[in-house]
Structure 1
Amino acid sequence: MGSTFGGLNTALTSLYAQRRGLDVTGQNIANASTEGYTRQRVVMQSQNANLVPGVYATTSAVGDGVTVSSVERLRNTALDHRSYTEHANSAFHNERAGAYNLIEDAFGEPSDTALQARLQDMWDGWNVVAANPSQKAPKSALLEQATTVAASLNDASAAMNRQYMATQSGLDTYVGEVNKTAASIAKLNQEIVVATQAGLQANELMDQRGQQILKLSEMVGATATDLPNGATSVYVGSAQLVSDFNVREIALKDPGALRLEDLGKGLDVELQWKDTGGTVVAGGTMGAQVETLSKDGILATMANRLDTVATTLAADVNSRHRAAFGMDGSTNQNFFEARNGRVDADGNPVVTAANITVNPALLADVDKLGVSSGNPRAATPEDRVLDGVTADALSDLADSRSGADAAYQALIGDLGVSAQSSIRRRDIQNAVTDQVDAARDSESGVNLDEEMTNLLTYQRGYEAASRVLTTIDSMLDQLINRTGLVGR
């Protein structure tokens, strides 16, 4: 038979349980807007009056009330891991699309002030000179137009080099962030394991760890595996970054390429493990940055193709200009030169997009500009020739299928196709990531309507338990203070 006072304990356990439910609900409501917070739920369990029942034991007790067995995190582990993967993919494609957008900005095509329009102005200038070979004004205008072409090539090359250095600097910053975040996860692992072994709840610590892992996935494409003791191992590629309480650090290969021209010196950009020197197979933002910065990457490819445009332009124009005569009778002069004065074994300037410039001697004296097929200053009048044949031939380079214009148009066309493809892949991946996040939030996010319902449930439960306690107290008062008073 149950104890006379047993009902007090039953009501008391209900008060404790309903109060715990109110506390957890309040915690959920307080963190409804907290990023990464996982809603929690109180798990209640009835207490058995017969903890160790005997074979022939009998009792009329109905139980010893209720207890809170645990406070659960309503988290779907599979969706968490899927989220890490999709966020890493989104970060990769966002960074890659951003790189293409910056390169497109460097060229600024199509535009009336971009390189394609400047090239056309220069070819038109040669056409005007061909029609007026003896006049200085068209020649001065042509040299100004050619200077603008060279400056446009210089600017585009400098813009890509600045983008390279900025991306490399950002990658170096991310390396420090990855190492710092990995150390934070290892510390949280230790705190969670200690708390779990002590029988304490570590839900908020697990939320913090999940946010740190998500951050790592976006930065370096990290994935995670849960361990039986409550810790989490974090991987980059197939290599462990965090194992229980231990951390491996990553670093940039030293020496590495800091500028675009360093790629031509045998240097490259590579992420390595500090302890072994092995290559880090990175994803996420850093994976895209390494791809962008590598010797076969986006920036190097576009810079090389822009150099080809400059080299082709200089070679085509110089070969014709050297054979032409200026008004002062000068000949065998280059129209384009390398700013640093570099020449090859044949004496031809080694021209790139970064160093191409118009021959300073022509800018100083327009009469040196080669336009005629013959010498206007020949010794005898009958040998003197002043025509615009060479200038006319140079203007025809605008339509050359193997000239600088064709190479530049192919570059811009390929860049546009690659950029558009990258943007489409980014948009598709971001849509997939949003879907995964929505599915995860539907399970782990706080719904205020649901929490208000729980709040009322626990409130009514607390009030009912209080009424039970009051009722039992009244019954005991009747039994203790009023029973047996008759006949006194």
Structure 2
Amino acid sequence: MGGSFSGINTALTSLYAQRRGLDVTGQNIANASTEGYTRQRVVMKSVNDNTHAGIYATSDGVGNGVAIKSVERMANSALDQRSYTEHGNSAYQNTKATAYGLMEDVFGEPSDTALQARMQDMWDGWNEVASNFDKPATKSAMLEQSATVAASLNDAAASLNNQYKSTRAGLDTSVSEVNKTAESIAKLNHEIVLATQSGLQANELQDERGRQILKLSELAGATVTDQPNGAVNVFLGNAPLVSEFKAREIWVTPGSAQRMEDLATTEVNLQWKDVGTPVSSGGSMGAQMEMVARGGTIQGMSNRLDKVATTLAENVNTVHSAGYSTTGVTGLDFFVSNDDNPLSAANIGVNRDLMSDVNKVAVSSGDPNGVGTTTRILNGNVADQLADLADSKTGADSEYQSMIGDLGVASQSSIRRRDIQNAVTDQVDAARSAESGVNLDEEMTNLLTYQRGYEAASRVLTTIDSMLDQLINRTGLVGR
């Protein structure tokens, strides 16, 4: 049976337990706004005095108070895994939608100052030349309008190339972040396993590891498997990035394309540094790889823009080079390359000979200086034919409109997928927060519960003290 002083120990264990509950509740309240924090809960157990009871035991079965069994981390592994997956998908869709948005900004259609409007101004300029082919002013205006079209193509090509270079630089940064984060997770694995094996709580360490895993999933679409010893293994695709205490490295192989023009001779290779095999990545890095790969989104759009430029040059040059100027000059190309490279959107320009002398612009289908059997003819037929190219079904305008239409469809589709995915991610985060997040109303209730429990244990201790005072100081006074 319990001794006279056993109640003091029972009350003392309750004081310890309730105070520990207050400490944990205070920790939850303090971290209510801390990103990635998982609420904790004190699990108490009764201290049983009959652990080794036998047949002839004389104990009355009353326990010896309460003890803290553990401080549980209220995490749901299934929701955590789902959260990592959905955050990786959201990062992928957000990066793609942002990239498409930047490409749309390059062209800025529809607009009175965008390329489509400037090409229309050029065709209108040719129409004015057809009506007034003998006036230098109309030719000068048309040449300036044409030069503006060429400059717009140059600027768009440069903007796409800049987007490629910035995305490529962002890929290098992402790779560096992945390697650092993987190393951090491996170290946290080691610390968590050591703490667990020593019987210590590792809740805060697990929270920090969870934040690092979430970052890794957003960067590269990482997935995770839990290990019996408390560590985790992290995978990119089916290949391990972190195996308990060891982390592997990935890299963009040296010599990979840094600029879009480099894709003609090399590619962008994302590989495992130790074995040289390709890395299957998701998240924002997966979207970046799609943007900068050979034949990827940015290069594909750049190729479409080059097609607009070459179509424009071929169609105009074919008609222009066959015509005659008012002074009899013929055989000149209207659009040419501004450098030694094949003509493209990046280098298209108006022939400098024409810009320096407007009288060399071909406007007539006949030679005004015809001699011999050649009839002298001066008309505006060539200028009229060039103006009609605006309505050509195979002309530059049609090619450009098709490109802008495809870009708009792809961008809208990407935005819709992004919005749907973000809604799914928000739902998963809400479910995860309901499971593991801090609810201040609940914590205030727990705070009152532990406070009252502490006060009650104090009252028990006071009552026992009063009983012992009666027993020690007042018993046996009769007869003294």
TM-score interval (norm. to shorter):
over 0.9
Give the secondary-structure state (helix, strand or coil) at the position aligned to 1:4: coil
Change (3 A) 1:175 1:37: same
Partner in structure 2 of residue 419 of structure 1: 411
Letter in 1 for 2:292: L
Tell me how far 1:379 sits from its aligned partner.
Answer: 4.2
How many angstroms apart in 2 are the aligned matches of 1:45 and 1:469? 20
How many angstroms apart in 1 are the aligned matches of 2:477 and 2:43? 47
Q: Which moved more, 1:239-248 or 1:371-380?
A: 371-380
TM-score using structure 1 length: 0.97
Partner in structure 1 of residue 284 of structure 2: 285
Give the secondary-structure state (helix, strand or coil) at the position aligned to 1:383: coil
| 1:313-332 C-alpha deviation (Å, 9 max, x unpaired) | 10111111111111221111
Give the secondary-structure state (helix, strand or coil) at the position aligned to 2:120: helix
1:354-393 aligned within 5 A: 354-379=346-371, 383-393=375-385
Tell me how far 1:305 sits from its aligned partner.
Answer: 0.6
How many angstroms apart in 1 are the aligned matches of 2:200 and 2:143? 80
How many angstroms apart in 2 are the aligned matches of 1:205 and 1:164? 39
Tell me how far 1:380 sits from its aligned partner.
Answer: 6.9
How many angstroms apart in 2 are the aligned matches of 1:357 and 1:469? 95
Note if 1:477 corresponds to 2:476: no
1:437-448 aligned within 5 A: 437-448=429-440
Tell me how far 1:384 sits from its aligned partner.
Answer: 2.0
Tell me how far 1:351 sits from its aligned partner.
Answer: 1.3
1:43-58 aligned within 5 A: 43-58=43-58
How many angstroms apart in 2 are the aligned matches of 1:382 and 1:370? 18
Note if 1:166 corresponds to 2:166: yes
Give the secondary-structure state (helix, strand or coil) at the position aligned to 2:234: strand
| 1:218-270 C-alpha deviation (Å, 9 max, x unpaired) | 000011111111111111111111111100011012211111111222x1122
Give the secondary-structure state (helix, strand or coil) at the position aligned to 2:326: coil
Change (3 A) 1:382 1:296: closer
How many angstroms apart in 2 are the aligned matches of 1:362 and 1:110? 30
| 1:296-342 C-alpha deviation (Å, 9 max, x unpaired) | 21111111011000001101111111111112211111100001134
How many angstroms apart in 2 are the aligned matches of 1:441 and 1:104? 37
Q: Which moved more, 1:55-64 or 1:33-42?
A: 55-64
Give the secondary-structure state (helix, strand or coil) at the position aligned to 2:324: coil
How many angstroms apart in 2 are the aligned matches of 1:375 and 1:254? 59
1:216-227 aligned within 5 A: 216-227=216-227
Note if 1:272 corresponds to 2:276: no
Q: Which moved more, 1:457-466 or 1:380-389?
A: 380-389
Change (3 A) 1:407 1:382: closer
Partner in structure 1 of residue 204 of structure 2: 204
Q: Which moved more, 1:177-186 or 1:254-263?
A: 254-263
How many angstroms apart in 2 are the aligned matches of 1:41 and 1:272? 43
Partner in structure 1 of residue 299 of structure 2: 300
Change (3 A) 1:71 1:131: same
How many angstroms apart in 2 are the aligned matches of 1:252 and 1:145? 44
Give the secondary-structure state (helix, strand or coil) at the position aligned to 1:42: strand
| 1:184-209 C-alpha deviation (Å, 9 max, x unpaired) | 11111111111101100010000000
Note if 1:323 corresponds to 2:322: yes
Tell me how far 1:61 sits from its aligned partner.
Answer: 3.9
Give the RMSD, CA atoms, in angstroms: 1.1
How many angstroms apart in 2 are the aligned matches of 1:106 and 1:444? 44
Tell me how far 1:480 sits from its aligned partner.
Answer: 1.4
Letter in 1 for 2:48: N
How many angstroms apart in 1 are the aligned matches of 2:289 and 2:412? 21
Consecutive unaligned residues in structure 1, runs of 5 or more:
343-349
Partner in structure 2 of residue 63 of structure 1: 63
| 1:447-474 C-alpha deviation (Å, 9 max, x unpaired) | 1111011001000000110111111111
Please say if residues 178 and 219 of structure 1, whose CA atoms lie closer than 8 Å, have aligned partners that are also in contact. Answer: yes
Partner in structure 2 of residue 339 of structure 1: 338
Tell me how far 1:381 sits from its aligned partner.
Answer: 11
Partner in structure 1 of residue 193 of structure 2: 193
How many angstroms apart in 1 are the aligned matches of 2:366 and 2:205? 86
How many angstroms apart in 1 are the aligned matches of 2:393 and 2:371? 40
Letter in 2 for 1:133: F
Partner in structure 1 of residue 233 of structure 2: 233
Please say if residues 133 and 386 of structure 1, whose CA atoms lie closer than 8 Å, have aligned partners that are also in contact. Answer: no
How many angstroms apart in 2 are the aligned matches of 1:405 and 1:261? 25
| 1:40-88 C-alpha deviation (Å, 9 max, x unpaired) | 0000000100121113323114101000000001111000000000000
Give the secondary-structure state (helix, strand or coil) at the position aligned to 2:456: helix
Please say if residues 134 and 386 of structure 1, whose CA atoms lie closer than 8 Å, have aligned partners that are also in contact. Answer: no
Percent identity of the aligned residues? 67
How many angstroms apart in 1 are the aligned matches of 2:55 and 2:473? 39
Change (3 A) 1:382 1:24: closer
Q: Which moved more, 1:364-373 or 1:474-483?
A: 474-483
How many angstroms apart in 2 are the aligned matches of 1:134 and 1:363? 17
Please say if residues 271 and 280 of structure 1, whose CA atoms lie closer than 8 Å, have aligned partners that are also in contact. Answer: yes
How many angstroms apart in 1 are the aligned matches of 2:95 and 2:269? 17
Letter in 2 for 1:275: D
Consecutive unaligned residues in structure 2, runs of 5 or more:
none
Partner in structure 2 of residue 80 of structure 1: 80
How many angstroms apart in 2 are the aligned matches of 1:148 and 1:369? 17
Please say if residues 164 and 260 of structure 1, whose CA atoms lie closer than 8 Å, have aligned partners that are also in contact. Answer: yes
How many angstroms apart in 1 are the aligned matches of 2:389 and 2:77? 64
How many angstroms apart in 2 are the aligned matches of 1:382 and 1:209? 87
Q: Which moved more, 1:48-57 or 1:19-28?
A: 48-57
How many angstroms apart in 1 are the aligned matches of 2:10 and 2:403? 80
How many angstroms apart in 2 are the aligned matches of 1:476 and 1:201? 39
How many angstroms apart in 2 are the aligned matches of 1:138 and 1:124? 10
How many angstroms apart in 2 are the aligned matches of 1:341 and 1:126? 28
Note if 1:11 corresponds to 2:3: no
| 1:72-120 C-alpha deviation (Å, 9 max, x unpaired) | 0111100000000000000000000001000000011000111101111
Letter in 2 for 1:86: E
Give the secondary-structure state (helix, strand or coil) at the position aligned to 2:451: helix
Change (3 A) 1:382 1:334: closer
Partner in structure 2 of residue 23 of structure 1: 23
How many angstroms apart in 1 are the aligned matches of 2:224 and 2:216? 10
How many angstroms apart in 1 are the aligned matches of 2:76 and 2:269? 35
| 1:424-464 C-alpha deviation (Å, 9 max, x unpaired) | 00000000000000000001110111101100100000011
